Chains A and B, each alone.
Chain A
Amino acid sequence: MRLSWNKTVLRGAGIGVFATALTACGGQAALDEAQTGDGTETIELAEFPDRPYWGDTHLHTDNSVDAFGFGVRLGPEAALRFASGEEVTATTGAQAKLSRPLDFLVIADHSDALGATRRLYDAPRWYVNWVIGDETVLRWYDMMHESPEQSQRAIGELITAAANGTVPESLSDPETAAENTKDIWNTHLGLLDRYNQPGTFTALAGYEWTRMPDGNNLHRVVMFRDGSDRTSQTVPFPGLSTSAEQLWDYMAAYEEQTGGQVLAIPHNGNLSNGLMFETTMPDGSPMTAEYAAKRAAAEPVVEVTQIKGDSETHPFLSPNDEMAGFGVSGWELGNLPLTQESTPDMYAGSYARSALLRGLSLEQQLGVNPYSFGMIGSTDSHTSLATGDEDNFWGKHTGNEPANEERALLGQNLGTRVGRFGWHYLAGGYAAAWARGNTRAEIFDAFARREVYATTGPRMSVRIFGGFDFTGQDWDGDWVRAGYTRGVPMGGELTDQGSAPTFLISALKDPDGANLDRVQVVKGWITASGETQERVYDVVWSDMDIRVRSGGRIPAVGDTVNREDATYTNDIGAAELRTTWADPDYRAGQNAFYYVRVLEIPTPRWPLYDAARFGIELSEDAMAEAVAQERAYTSPIWLKSPVTAQ
């Protein structure tokens, strides 16, 4: 009598032979240099950046430990196909397609245990039981196989363990992890090269560095300029056990060894409990100029808006900013897994605007500004689907894809489940890059020179040029050329010339989206005595002849949202808002930054679309935030006194 397992083994062997035979036939296609490299000289470039390219620099696929555990079964290839406009079948079965493709994508799977949950899941149980031999891991393994719900619970525990530094050693064994990481990374790089099409779609290499001491989120997305000819010479740097300074050293070493370029993008300062933008070294000692310079060089851009909330500013920090607080509720309660509550004294180290102010202050003390960063949005989606639109929200992770009709009402899976609900998730943002063409080099360089901006999803085109001699007449001619030749674009620096800087500012609505309410300039500055200040100026808005400013405020734009069926009209607002603006509060010698915030008219947020589609009833709290003014934040332009600028 033969054993039944014999059948299994033979069948398995048969498939192996079958696959090998097929792999052996057919020639290996050589990728041309246009795809394995950075795309330099592959396409014709515009003279000046002539349009924003849209992308997501923060997408997770089934190679991310948590994303896989949450249930996603789509990998990087599906992610690339989806972002470039193809239809894919989402994990939960529905067909998904972007109505407008993205221009670039960074798949940013967690470097720690890259691909590990997927491998754990695929491993035979005896291996987990006998070789790994860890009760916790075995329990997670069984939960992952039991059901999607249990799998999500297991990953919730895993993230909490990672946050608390209690991940079983067997899962974080450095040697095995390094070997697996290298395999997965190299396969991944080949795939990126195949999908990278200069001029049409840019696939940038990257990963997420996931440091989170005590659950305080210090995560960065690491993004490379290069193709596999260089990126295959490195491997993703682990986050759980290393410091940010070590990451920057790793990045510098990569650049030196390969001649390539790499940058890091911090995100979710809002969940860092004040640790993302400290005024000191991580150990509490005074910040050194060397440390500040390292940070500034490695991290030119911060991701300020994404599914897990918005980090522009908090109403506590900006009490005079009536539009502050977008995407703050729920997230402001504590750190990432909610193992530690947030208190207002932490906020200044958590949000971008206060960080930019801290940067001015540190620059005055050290001569170097560690926080002179530009701003972008992205998704942080864990579904392999890079969706940022409110009416097309595919969920933070597979557990809250639209197949889960109650997703807006449920408690979140992270941490204690206290106070954070599905509706607190934002639909996610996008990154816009002003570039001369769509290649790896052009997109990356736009990030490096901070000529990028954030939106909470809509694709409005926003320009700001800073200079000293712009006038209203510039709009009559080629004002973009004027902007580039007589001034600097967003991300640039102006040297104080003793007169107020002037700005050309233009915001064009999303061609398929909502009209614009207003354009604001957010100014931050530092006085000679070291005091930092901020002020928000309304510089141009729709129907200015009717909406007359009174008491320093302009009347609200109105609200056309129908709460019953989640619709709005463009009967209010404007298609484009543009103006020439001079700083009325300029004082010679004060270092300052200026960035633009653009607000759309009120539109439904995704929970309201869900409510209308699925016929669910939102809670009172959720309903209060079911309509919002989506927005864009540009990178700042800095004004520096000649002394600092040297």
Chain B
Amino acid sequence: MTRPAWTQASWLREPLVHFITLGAVVYLALTWGGEPVDPASRVIEVGAEEQAQLALSFENVMGRAPTDAELDARIEQFVRDEVLYREAIRLGLDQGDAVVRQRMVAKMDMSASAAAEAAQPDETVLRAFYDANPDRYSGEVLVTFDQAYFTEEAAAAQALGRGAVEGEPISLPSSVEAANLRDVQSRFGEVFARGIAELQPSDEWQGPIQSGFGWHLVKLSERRADVLEFEALRDRVENDWRSEEIAARKLRAFDLLRSAYRVEIDR
């Protein structure tokens, strides 16, 4: 897909820019649209423009233009809703209603994150995200080890002292090759995975370290950081980027609004 050069500019993809632009658009639209609406007004005008909007919203849902009768019905419905809405505002019914409050909060959040959900980030954005999160993508530790199992700690220690390491039978692999700690945990349990992470590679048997099954002597021949190249992780990076982007946009949008408020909390 070829795109005009200006769409590549990084500032154009900056959510904060979008947010401010959006704010400006809304502001201008409201300004050009006339004076701010006064909910207390008892005049309801349904001009050509408004009718077109009603027809359009009908079409968006139904996939066709409304008939005259349907449009009349929509106008009637609109007027009814508007009357009741204004009266409700007049009575202050929007105040102190947890459902109204929650729905409006949710709408604000949604408008900040909607774009991120559909966005297709390009390679540069994702690479930058990948580079910015080294712990997440290059922190995977791979271990290669032999293990011998003992029901009792003392028996394990004794075997280690004798130098004759022959464990008791158990349906666990006696050798594990280049497994990540997640796999080690899934087969030997959390305690063992923590234990082996603390050992240094050596030609000697070490331990005993505990597992969910009992005690183990371990010969840890290798521990290395797995190199996870960007290419192999592209989708995971995109998934992570999207999920963080949504959260970040909500937060940035909120911070922007929040900065205009002074909050006083009595302590």
Contacts and interface: CB of A to CB of B under 8 A. Distances in A.
Contacts of A31: 235
B3 A25 contact: yes
Given A10-B26, A22-B119, A194 B111 contact: no
Nearest to A100: B186
A127 B12 CA distance: 37
A511 B188 contact: yes
B192 A511 contact: yes
Given A3-B50, A26-B120, A27-B122, A10 B22 contact: no
Nearest to B151: A575
A578 interface: yes
Interface string A257-285: 00000000000000000000000000000
A542 B169 CA distance: 15
Interface stretch (B159-167, B197-205, B210-218): B210-218
Contacts of B188: 511
B238 A194 contact: yes
B120 A10 contact: no
A552 interface: no
Contact of B61 (A123, A510, A575): A123
Contact of A29 (B33, B120, B214): B120
A50 B177 CA distance: 13
Nearest to B236: A197
B33 A6 contact: yes
A295 interface: no
B29 A475 contact: no
Nearest to A78: B243
A379 B114 CA distance: 30
Interface in B44-87: 44-46, 50, 53, 57, 61-62, 73-74, 77-78, 81-82, 85-86
B36 to A, nearest CB: 8
A147 interface: yes
Contacts, number: 170
A642 to B, nearest CB: 33
B201 to A, nearest CB: 23
B30 A475 contact: no
B238 A14 contact: no
Contact of A14 (B26, B61, B81, B236): B26
A51 B187 contact: yes
B101 interface: no
B63 to A, nearest CB: 10
Contact of A126 (B81, B212, B238): B81
Interface string A1-41: 11111110111001101110111111111010001000000
A93 interface: no
Given A1-B34, A10-B26, A99-B190, A461 B171 contact: yes
A510 B186 CA distance: 9
A621 interface: no
A638 B250 CA distance: 57
B115 A575 contact: no
A26 B78 contact: no
B234 interface: yes
Contacts of A5: 50, 53, 78, 82
Given A7-B33, A508-B172, A512-B189, A131 B61 contact: yes
Contact of A7 (B25, B30, B118): B30
A535 interface: no
A18 B34 contact: no
A6 B37 contact: yes
Given A145-B99, A197-B235, A506-B171, A14 B118 contact: no
B171 A130 contact: no
B224 interface: no
A2 B122 contact: no
B122 A26 contact: yes
Given A6-B37, A101-B182, A511-B192, A126 B74 contact: yes
Contacts of B229: none
Contacts of A10: 26, 29-30, 33
Given A1-B34, A575-B213, 7 more contacts: A18-B22, A18-B25, A22-B116, A22-B118, A77-B239, A197-B236, A509-B213
18 contacts: A3-B50, A4-B82, A9-B53, A10-B33, A11-B29, A14-B26, A15-B114, A18-B22, A23-B120, A26-B119, A27-B120, A29-B120, A51-B187, A99-B190, A195-B235, A195-B239, A197-B235, A513-B212
Interface of B: 1, 3, 7-8, 12-13, 18, 21-22, 25-26, 29-30, 33-35, 37-39, 41, 43-46, 50, 53, 57, 61-62, 73-74, 77-78, 81-82, 85-86, 99, 103, 111, 114-116, 118-123, 125, 151, 169-173, 182, 185-192, 211-214, 234-236, 238-239, 243
